[in-house]
Structures are given as structure tokens and as C-alpha cells.
Structure 1
Amino acid sequence: MDTLTRISDLCRILEARRRPISLQDLMGQLECSESTARRAIHKLRDEFNAPIVFDQNAKGWYLDRTCNARTFRLPGHWLTAAELHALLSCHQLLRQIEPGLLGPEIAPLMEHIETTLAKHGLDRALLAERVRLVAIGARPVPSETLKAVAEALLSGHRLQVTYHSRSRDEIRERTLSLQRLTWYRSNWYLEAWCHQSGGPRRFAVERLLSARPLATAAEPIPTADLDAHFADAYGIFAGLATQTATLLFSRERARWVADERWHPHQRGRHLPDGRYELTLPYGRADELIMDILKYGPDVEVIAPTELRDAVAGRLEEAAKRYRRHLVRF
């Protein structure tokens, strides 16, 4: 490990702690000798003005975070080899999600990262073989459409689009003030202020038949208002959460569901018999019903009654369909 990387690691260790750390523990985390650890401490303190203090009582080192302590900052791009590798992995994933989206723009940065990785003996070519993203149900988006969306979004300009709504099966011209581009369940969605409808709307990017950035500045929506409208309820459907669903999963399925994140404000608990109870807020129930149905007999809707009846109705319809005599064509 080179000196700069060790100093960067030492800084991270100290910043992450609220109690002094002994020299022995530092040696273990830095994987170095006592003399090397002491040199790193002195270099970080004396050359980078880090407010490192030795606590005589605790026999350990810590960062002085009092208001009178000197401020310091490590220069340059202080990323470890692991962090650089993670960044490059993210780039590889993005290339697989939507090839060409950011390639030309971030090529110089990626070249610098790859050079740095090579110094640490990490091979970028292996990423293509070892990092893979499988997007089930992905709906392709023309690269020109996505580039037009990205241009308008990042420049803060409005976007003129021709949009085909699946639910209404209609085509309309719209002027949008883009707010966010969201990757959700293998597909791209636009969160925007629609000037025709006079409110925030979410649009499936693959349904944009045409997209053209305008010179007019977009109307911004505060992030808190955006989250309240688009992220409060369950799933991709916008709007406020109006109800809370309570789901009860079987003991077998609980081993998986207990580790899943269905919603930022969900609550879960294990029952004495091994089953798992999950509660989460929702508005429109369409997507939630689909997600419940995929668990079949391993889940039961406890509340509310209308959600329980809706799921039961869909299951009964499915059962009737399978009980019918199969007609082969």
C-alpha cells in the first residue's frame, strides 16, 4: 500500500470514530507495523494539519472536533482502489442499462480512473466479464430520445414531447418542465411539471414519440414537494398515500421478505410462529396488488378490507380460469 492511500485510510478510520483508537487497533486496520502507523499519524497531523490528539487516559488517537480545532482537507481525488473500482463498476452497469447515454461525456474521467486502477493492479477488462445487470421486462428507449431528455433535464430547459399514453391509448403534444429521471424496475420514467395539465406528472420515457429541448427555462418544483407527490405512496403511481396495507407472509417466505425494501416508510416484525408482518403506505393499489399476487399462497392481506377483497377477487378469477377445460387451438 502506498503512503498516500494509507494516510487516506487513516483519515477515514479516525473520522468514522467518536472514541479514541489505540495504536494496536490502528496497526490492525491499516495492516502495517507500529513504525508505519506512527509515520502515517505524524504525516497526517503535521503535513495536512489534521487535528489528531492522543488521549492519555484512553491510550488512543482521535480527531478533535471542537470548534477551535484546526480545519483540514486532503487534496486531490482521495479515493481508495476499492472506491475507484466501485465507481468503474457503476459505469459498467450504466452502460448495460442504456448504452451510449453518458459515454462521450465521461470518457476522459473514465480514462483517468482506469489509469489509476492500473496502478493498483486492477483490470478494467474483467468488469465486462464479472459485472452483469439483467433487466427483466425492460422496454427499449431510442438513444436520441434519452439524450434529448438528459440535455433538457441537466440544462434546466423545457422539453416539447409527443406522448402516447398506454392507459388511454391517445397521443398528445405536451410541454414539460423536467424535474427528475428515474430508473424503476428496468425502465426509465420522467417526473415533470406538465404545462398542459397544470400539475406534476410521471411519463414512461419509451412512450415519447418525439422529444425536443426548448430554449425556455423549466419551472422548478421544490424537492420536498416532488417527493411528497411521487415518493409518498407505493410503486410508480404518483399521489399521496391514503391507506396502509398490512401483509402477512408465511414462515417460509419470511426469510426473503424480511430483507426486502418495499417502501421507505415500511414497518415489519417477525411473529412468534415465524411468520412476517409487513405494513406499508399506498395510494392506488394496482401495482401493490400485482406484487402481492406473485407470492400466491405465501401471503395474506390482513388490511384494509378493500385491498383484501381486491386480491381475493383476482385469485378467484385466476382459479376459475385454471379450472376450465383447456381448449387447444
Structure 2
Amino acid sequence: MQRLRKALAPERREEIERRHTALALDLGRRDEDEIAPAVWDGLTRALVARRRIEFTYRSPQQDDQTPRRHVVDPYERYFDTARGHYYLRGWCHYSEGPRGVRPQHRYFDYRLGRMAELQLLPDKLPPFPPPAPQYAVAYELSARVARFGVSRQRGIEVTDVEMRPDGSALVHGHTHDPFLAVQALLHYGPNCRVLGGPEVLERMRSAVREMGEMYGEGT
């Protein structure tokens, strides 16, 4: 898709982005975050012009609650219906915070409502996006959720589904982000068991262990 867009004339790319923006505005009404107009409009211009951007980002993972500055190549703006928010998928070159500059060189999914002070940089995006790392995913679903078919989850590219006689399913695929894969699979609750790959399985074990400590006896 990125190659097709690049081959189009700038006017055609702008028209496509306008249509995406119109749909995004409709979906954005369902986003509880307040997205700054300067962030939305600046991102639209960056996507059309294929320009690198710089912005500050608030992440709940930062205990000091200090926004970090990120330098990013923007590739996709999308609405996640499961989480109810709008996101930017982009290749982060580096972030900068209280401890200085930290190289990243990987993809992130940024929540638009947590972005601020967005600026377009003079750098143009490379002809093709950097390849994303792929992590194997394997999981089984109980018949309770799989007997009428297996739903696709954002962040997981399903490559094979084996339906079993009892209605359960064995699913194989891959993901570019083990965190997103685990978040997607957690909504199945006890009806899903992750079997691999190692990165996804370890993240799921960690999540289940922490929940067990939270909800275990004596708490």
C-alpha cells in the first residue's frame, strides 16, 4: 500500500488523505481523548507531504510524568475500535527526555490524544518504510469462542487456523509488537491459551502473573 501511494501524484495522495481524514473525523467523535487541532492538521500535512515530524508525547509508563520529545516518520493514522482511540503508527528515530537522547529505531503506535507541539521537519520519508520485526504468535481458542470462526485481531497477522473436531482452534501468525498481541488476546480471558512464540508467551505469562498477584487469595 505504501508503494502504491508513493507512485501516485501528490494531488492524488492529498485527495486520498482527505478522504481518510473525513472518515477519521467521524470516528474521532467516538474518541474520548481531546486531540489538539494543531496535532491533527499537522499530521495530515505530514502524511500528504511524506515529511518527518517532531512532537512531545505523554506516556503513562513514565513515572516522572514528563513528556518526551520524539522524532518520527509517520506512516499510518488509524482508529482502534477495540481501544476507542486514534493512533499514529510511525518509525521513531529517537526520543529525548530528562536523561538525554535515546535512540529507538523501531515502530511505535502513538495515541493522538497524548501528542502535543507537533512540528513538520524538512526531512522527507525514505522511498519505502523500514521493515518491521516479526514475532511468532501461536495460541489456542476454546470452542466457546471459536466454533463459528476465528476473529482477526489488530496487531496479529494470522497465517494458519486449524479447526479441531471439538470446535476449538489452533491459531498461528505473527506480530510486529508482542505488547499489542498480548493486549488483543487478553480480551478472550480464560478462553485463550498462548503457546508461543517466546516473546509473546513471556509477556502473557508476566501479565497473568501480575494479575494473579492482584486478585490472589488474601488480597
TM-score, normalised by the number of residues in structure 1: 0.46
| Equivalent position amino acid for 1:97 in 2 | L
Q: Which has the higher contact order (CA 8 A, sep 6+)?
A: 2
C-alpha distance in structure 1 between counterparts of 2:185 and 2:209, whole Å: 14
Paired AA for residue 90 in structure 2:
E
For structure 2, list consecutive stretches of 5 or more residues without a partner in the other structure.
1-18, 96-102
- Contact map agreement 1:159 1:211 (CA 8 A) in 2: yes
The residue that corresponds to 1:182 in the other structure is: 77
Contact 1:247 1:277 survives alignment (8 Å): yes
Within 5 Å, which residues of 2 pair with 1:84-163?
93-98=23-28, 138-163=32-57
Bigger Rg, structure 1 or 2? 1
Identity of aligned residues (%): 13
Runs (5+) with no aligned partner, structure 1: 1-88, 100-133, 230-239
C-alpha distance in structure 2 between counterparts of 1:286 and 1:97, whole Å: 24
Q: What are the residue-to-residue correspondences of 1:264-303 with 2, within 5 Å?
A: 264-282=157-175, 284-303=177-196
Between the aligned partners of 1:322 and 1:256, the Cα distance in structure 2 is 32
Report if the CA contact (8 A) 1:163-1:174 is conserved: yes
| CA offset digits 1:199-237 (Å, max 9, x no partner) | 4543433332212335x2x332233x44x22xxxxxxxx
CA distance in 2, matches of 1:282, 1:93: 26
TM-score of the two chains, using structure 2 as the length reference: 0.65
Query: Higher helix proportion, which one?
Result: 1
SS of residue matched to 2:124: coil
Task: Report if aligned partners of 2:47, 2:75 keep a CA contact under 8 Å in 1.
Answer: yes
Alpha carbons of 1:145 and 1:179: their partners in 2 closer, same or farther (altered >3 Å)? closer
More strand by share: 2
Partner in structure 2 of residue 52 of structure 1 = none
SS at match of 1:180: strand
Q: Separation in 1 of the partners of 2:151 and 2:203?
A: 26
Instruction: Supply the RMSD in Å over aligned alpha carbons.
Output: 3.5
Amino acid at match of 1:285: P
Asked if 1 retains the 8 angstrom alpha-carbon contact of 2:157 and 2:175, the reply is: no
* Mapped partners of 2:209, 2:104: distance in 1: 40
Cα 1:279–1:146 change in 2 (3 A) is same
